[in-house]
Amino acid sequence: MQDWKSRITIDPEVCHGRPCIKGTRVWVSLILDNLAAGVSDQELLEACPALTHDDIKAALAFGAEMARERYVDLPLRSG
């Protein structure tokens, strides 16, 4: 997923600055935890109608990027 940065946001005023799917309060870590626990994409989409398949793929891509132990430049949203 090449456009994952356009789907994930970090805002200190939303969810204590945790990475979230843009326009939602759904933490990336929540998506990854659920997928790791065996929850299917379809179950996630049913539980959280604000999510799309592309949001789930973006969360996976973000997790992969973090696993590379590199700095990821995601601008903080101000004001």
At 12-54, the pLDDT tens digits run 989 999 999 999 999 999 999 999 999 999 999 999 999 999 9
Residue 66 is predicted with a pLDDT of 86
| HEC string for the chain | CCCHHHCEEECCCCHHHCCEECCCCCEHHHHHHHHHCCCCHHHHHHHCCCCCHHHHHHHHHHHHHHHCCCCCCCCECCC
Averaged pLDDT of the chain: 90
Q: How far is CA 30 from CA 35, 36, 79, in A?
A: 9, 10, 25
Domain covering 4-67, topology: Arc Repressor Mutant, subunit A (1.10.10)
The domain ranges of the chain are 4-67
Q: What is the CA radius of gyration of the chain?
A: 12
